[in-house]
Amino acid sequence: MTEKSQQEILNLQECLALERTTLANERTFLSYARTAIMVFVTGVSAFELFQDTLAVFILGWIAILFSTILFFVGLGKYMKRFGSLSKLKSGCLYPYNVKKNKDKK
């Protein structure tokens, strides 16, 4: 292998690692969203089923508030990582670009 093809393979490996990191970031956000939805549903259920019990009524509202905060914390972390990953991915040489570049030579 020439030095240039080794560099292209390394660059391809780095790009694929960035893709895996992007997918992991999306999975993490979806798990935050899923947890927030479940806590929200639990809070609404407690709120609706036990309206006459003050303690459960308050816990239901706390769960609803916590789920909203949890969702926005997850969204903030996702957006922060998405921005930094986008900057890194801008210089990536993707597989289809490698093939086109080889055809031009």
Residue 27: both structure tokens together: 């999975």
Task: Name, of 40-49, 62-71, 81-90, the range with top average pLDDT.
Answer: 62-71
* Residue 63: CB atoms within 10 Å: 20
Closest alpha carbon to 69 in 42, 48, 47, 39 = 39
Distance CA(63)–CA(42), nearest Å, equals: 7
Among 18, 39, 31, 34, CA closest to 82: 18
Mean local confidence (pLDDT), 39-55: 89
Is it the case that residue 95 has pLDDT exceeding 60?
no
- Give the pLDDT score at 102: 52
pLDDT band for position 75 (cuts 50, 70, 90): very high
Coil/strand/helix, residue 94: coil
Closest CA to 46 of 33, 34, 62, 31: 62
Q: What is the model's pTM?
A: 0.70
Please state, as a whole number, how many other Cβ atoms lie within 10 Å of the Cβ of residue 67.
21
Model confidence at 42, pLDDT cuts 50, 70, 90, reads very high
For the chain, give every domain's residue range. 3-98
Q: Please say if the pLDDT value at position 62 is more than 90.
A: yes
Residue 57 has pLDDT above 90, yes or no: no
Residue 89: the pLDDT is 73
